[in-house]
Amino acid sequence: MSENTRKKVVYACFVIAVIYGSYNLLMGDDQPQMIEERQQQATNVSAAIHPAVPSPSSPELIVTDDMISAPWGADPFRDRVTPETALSPRPNDLVWVLDGIVYSDRSPMAIINKQMVRSGDTVDKARVIAIGRKTATLEHKGKQFTLTVSKG
């Protein structure tokens, strides 16, 4: 490093030190007080955005062994559904799931229980009454009910 470059570096450090010292001198003892005021303001804003929720008396511990055995990319905040814990309908219960709708004014179609149907068709002992843009109306044993497409 040349003599000229060394002088410039020392001079720059000196200027930075003077600016830093004068800033702290002007702030004096008010600085901790200002920090406390800013923290209080942040707490007030946070309380307004997120209202206080009472914490449980005994927090639950997270069992990491289950998370370690989870496949890569699994969401640790979601319960994993296993065949043992899955709620499956009893064989006698009839369940209709609206998987999607292909809508047109002339002939709308719906996918119910993985089967393409139109108005008047029958799917799992239920007759399709009407198909709208987001709903399908079915009739089973004289009772009408509406299935809705979910955003999932």
Higher pLDDT, residue 109 or 63: 109
Q: Which of 61, 90, 67 is nearest to 79 (CA)?
A: 67
Q: Residue 95 has what pLDDT? A: 85
Q: What is the mean pLDDT of the chain?
A: 77
Mean per-residue pLDDT, 144-148:
92
Higher pLDDT, residue 27 or 125: 125
Secondary structure (3-state) at 144:
strand
Mean per-residue pLDDT, 49-78:
63
Q: Which of 59, 61, 151 is nearest to 98 (CA)?
A: 151
Read off the pTM: 0.40
Higher pLDDT, residue 28 or 88: 28
Q: Residue 92 has what pLDDT? A: 54
Q: Residue 21 has what pLDDT? A: 82
Higher pLDDT, residue 69 or 145: 145
Residue 51 has pLDDT above 70, yes or no: no
pLDDT in tens, 2-39: 999 999 999 999 999 988 888 777 765 555 666 677 66
Task: Kindly list the distances between the CA atom of residue 91 and the CA atoms of 1, 88, 94, 95, 104, in Å, as whole numbers in the listed order.
Answer: 85, 9, 8, 10, 35
Higher pLDDT, residue 46 or 123: 123
- 51-65, 87-101, 135-149, range with the lowest pLDDT: 51-65
